Amino acid sequence: DTGVSQDPRHKITKRGQNVTFRCDPISEHNRLYWYRQTLGQGPEFLTYFQNEAQLEKSRLLSDRFSAERPKGSFSTLEIQRTEQGDSAMYLCASSSISGRAGEQYFGPGTRLTVT
Amino acid sequence: SQQGEEDPQALSIQEGENATMNCSYKTSINNLQWYRQNSGRGLVHLILIRSNEREKHSGRLRVTLDTSKKSSSLLITASRAADTASYFCATPPSGTYKYIFGTGTRLKVLA
């Protein structure tokens, strides 16, 4: 399967701990997005990369959240000093800059539970 | 508030019937997309319609876009139990890649 993969699929952490999630996009996709989704809501945009450049960030991506895409391939999302309000599903998506541009392919998500 | 807001929030129909859901948005856009989410397959892209298009078809799906009213509709014809899912519209405001999803329409198709 050559779709978007995310690791881990589930993460339980104690409040105040740091967590890091990884996303591996479809190999030929230049664009990569991170979203957060809570129960009953649609995905909420966090950040967007084109190749290795982080071009857009939500105000939600404050000092506790950081994302990187060091070589324009995989990406990591780190949350420092987690809070219970960070409990959510974190989704990664990728898309191509050409061809079917704009069509995002989503990974299965990482479900974070902060206790 | 959300850029895209779907209506109705929930919809229950019998298999074989058509399902229509609507999306409204607030700013000018380059395109609007519809996605489906169910527990088995996660979020899946259904169809993209560009701002200069008024209607688009894909299989049993028909999407319309009215930029003057800032609204879109998704019609699923001859629905099946497998269409049971949440449906979201997503729009990036013009000049951005900040895709904004609505809260979704939860469709239940009864066999």
pLDDT of residue A61: 73
Query: With pLDDT > 90 as the criterion, what percentage of chain B qualifies?
Result: 74
Structural Rg of chain A based on CA atoms: 13
Neighbours of A107 (CB within 10 A): 22
Side-chain-facing half-sphere of B19: CA atoms under 13 Å: 29
Number of A to B CB contacts under 8 A, please give it. 54
A44 Cα to chain B: minimum distance (Å): 7
Name the band, by pLDDT with cuts 50, 70 and 90, for residue B5: confident
Side-chain-facing half-sphere of B24: CA atoms under 13 Å: 6
CB contact under 8 A, B43 and A44: no
- Residue A96, pLDDT > 50, answer yes
Q: What is the pLDDT of residues A11-58, one digit of tens each?
A: 999 999 999 999 999 998 999 999 999 998 999 999 999 999 999 988
B100 Cα to chain A: minimum distance (Å): 7
Side-chain-facing half-sphere of B9: CA atoms under 13 Å: 3
Q: What is the pLDDT of residues B9-52, one digit of tens each?
A: 999 999 999 999 999 999 898 899 999 999 777 899 999 999 99
Q: Chain A neighbours among B 49-108 (CB < 8 Å)?
A: 88, 90, 96-104
Mean pLDDT along residues A93-97: 90
A30 vs A46: CA distance, rounded Å: 17
pLDDT of residue B2: 45
E-strand spans in chain B? 5-7, 10-14, 19-24, 31-38, 42-50, 55-58, 61-66, 71-76, 85-91, 100-101, 105-110
Mean pLDDT along residues A86-112: 89
Find chain B residues with C-beta within 8 A of A45's C-beta.
Answer: 98-101
B26 vs B1: CA distance, rounded Å: 10
CB contact under 8 A, A45 and B98: yes
Name the band, by pLDDT with cuts 50, 70 and 90, for residue B95: confident
Q: Please choose, from the candidates B39, B96, B44, the residue with its C-alpha nearest in 3D space to the C-alpha of residue A105.
A: B44
A88 vs B51: CA distance, rounded Å: 32
pLDDT of residue B1: 39
A17 contact B CB<8A? no
Angle (nearest 5°) at CA B100 between A24 and A37? 60
A47 contact B CB<8A? no
Mean pLDDT along residues A96-111: 85
Residue of A nearest to B96 (CA): A56
pLDDT of residue A54: 92
